Every structure is written in C-alpha cells, then in structure tokens.
Amino acid sequence: MNTDQGETPTHSVSRRLVLEYLIHHCYGDTATALLKDIAQVDSADHEIGLSKREMLDENGNTANGGQDGAALSAPVAQELNNRMDVDMESLVPPVASTNGHGMPVYADPNGNIVRDCDKDGVPPALQVQWNTLESRRQIVNAILSGSIPQAIDLINKHFPQLINTDPNSPSTTASSIFIAFKLNCQQFIETVRTGNFIEALSFASFAQANLGRLKSLDPDYDEHMEIFQDVTALIAYPNPEKSPIAHYLGQHFRETVANEVNSGILALCGSSTEAELTRMVKQVTVVHDMLDGEAEKKAPKAPKQPKWDLAQLLYGGEPETISV
C-alpha cells in the first residue's frame, strides 16, 4: 500500500480488496457488477485528479495549502509500509486513464503503463484468478451439491495435475495426494448419505488401497489414515445423521473440501491460496487479541473484554463485556 507523505487511502483500495475476495471465492456475477462500478468511479477519480493537478502551486502543494487530509509522517509511513504483508501495489495498480471500453488502464508506481486491461476491466494481478473463475465455480458448486464424481471429472478436464496420484509421475505431489484424498473421503460420505452401504464399503476399500499405494510419497500419511478411519466409521451406525461423527455429513464439511480444492487450484496456477481481505482480517484479529492480552496483564481485575469476532461485529452488534 502506498503510504507516502501527503497521500491518504482511497475507497478504490477497499473496492479492489472486495473484488479480489469475490473473484477468489468464485462470485462471478457480483464481481462483474463491482467491476463496472469500479470502472465508473475510477474514471471519475481520474478526471478529478487531473483537475487537482492543475491547481498545484509552484512548490507542488494543493491550492488549500496542503491541508488535503491528515498525512502520516514519513518515518511512520515507511515503517507501516515495511510491515504490510499485503502487496497492495500489485493487487491495486494505480489507474492512469481509461481505454476504449471505458475500463481503466493501469500504471506502475512510476506512471508507466503496465498493460491495457481486457474488456472485463480486471486488474492485471487478478487475471489468472478471473480466467479460471468459471471452471473453479463449476467445481466448487459440484462439491457443495455433493456431486463428487462430477467435480472430479471437471478437475480432470481443467486441472488434471491437481489430483494426480500416479506414483511414477513428477506431477504427483503431497498437495495432489491431499486433494485426491479429501475428494475420496467426501465421495464416501456422499455414498453413505444415500444409504447405499454396500457401495460405500466397496469405495472405502478402493480408497484405502489407493492411499496405501502412495504411502512413500505422502508425508502426512498417518494423519490421513486417521481421518480416513474416522470418516469410514460412519458406516458402523444405523443412523449416521445421529452418530457422534455426524458432522462429516454436514454442509460445513462440504464447504471445507470445496475451499481446499479451490485453494489448491489457485496454488497450481501460481496465485495466492487465501484472499487478501481474509488475511487482513486475520492480522487484525491477532493484533486485537495481543492488545487485549497486554491490557489484561496491566489491569487483571478490570472487566474482561470479549474476544473480538468479525461476524459478531457485523451482524450481532457489540457484545457485552464480562465482569470478573
């Protein structure tokens, strides 16, 4: 993020963080709508920027004497810039102008044109995620609906290396073994869900044999076998939905597998496995918890503050403090 003296963050940074999150999680329609909004706002911001530059005095200050919002001191700004884990300059390149489609043309920090975006107006740093969005969306939706064979067919069509388990292939990695293993577990769960226990047993035997075949290539083999044994235990219960391990049958477990597959695809394509917005929320949570811990050490008898929770803040209001 650019934090040079005299420059303040703009709404375009927030919009592009949201855009990256939407594209990362395959919300194509919403991302398309946001892209149109970003193009319109960036075009207006560009015009305003040209007007403001015409008002600069001979020292490069604005006509209002440089009082154009509070600025960080240079040392503080530099320290913050050095500590930022999110590379905002690559995620949100500055807008230089708009192209013939009314979409923004991006420039590097020195003002040099990076390249003209395509007609969708996607920032260059998000092109890979955008180009794979539709195929990722189809795979994710198949998993969320429990159609694991369909998801596997789509993966083999678009990203075959993702689930390669051939011991003699250089494309077989710990990651591909893990993704294939999770999909096998989910297929077993979906078979149990239908009540076809004979088919489930047959598939469990196949999956276990396949996992054993890759033991020498799987650094997490013991952990995977433990999970596999937990999952296959579903078949031992007459009513799996009411068993102690019924959580494997929940939609949340499907979502977990879908997210792991989506992240695996993005990693395969050389993109980040985690949305920048998600990473920033995690950073805020860690910092907030650390500050709370320091405050508790200094005043152990003070009212205990509740653990910070983004969902609670957004949807449930401020939680009450807890007296000790």
Residue 153 resides in a domain? yes
| Cβ density class 138-154: b for 16+ within 10 Å, e for less | bbbebbeebebeebbeb
Residue 6 resides in a domain? no
Same domain, yes or no: 173 and 246: yes
pLDDT tens for 216-230 read 888 888 888 888 999
Residue 1 resides in a domain? no
Domain of 183, in residue numbers: 133-268
Same domain, yes or no: 202 and 289: no
Higher pLDDT, 71 or 202: 202
Under the banding of pLDDT at 50, 70 and 90, the label for residue 311 is low
Residue 36 resides in a domain? yes
- The count of domains in the chain is 3
Residue recorded with tokens 């939407």: 22
pLDDT at 80: 38
The Cβ of residue 100 has, within 10 Å, a number of other Cβ atoms equal to 8
Three-state secondary structure readout of 64-94: CCCCCCCCCCHHHHHHHHHHCCCCHHHHCCC
The Cβ of residue 208 has, within 10 Å, a number of other Cβ atoms equal to 16
pTM for the complete prediction?
Answer: 0.70
Residue 312 resides in a domain? yes
Determine the average pLDDT of the residues in 234-257. Answer: 92
Same domain, yes or no: 222 and 140: yes
CB 155, CB 135: distance < 8 Å: no
pLDDT tens for 96-119 read 555 444 444 555 555 554 444 556
Greatest mean pLDDT among 46-50, 88-92, 93-97, 177-181: 177-181
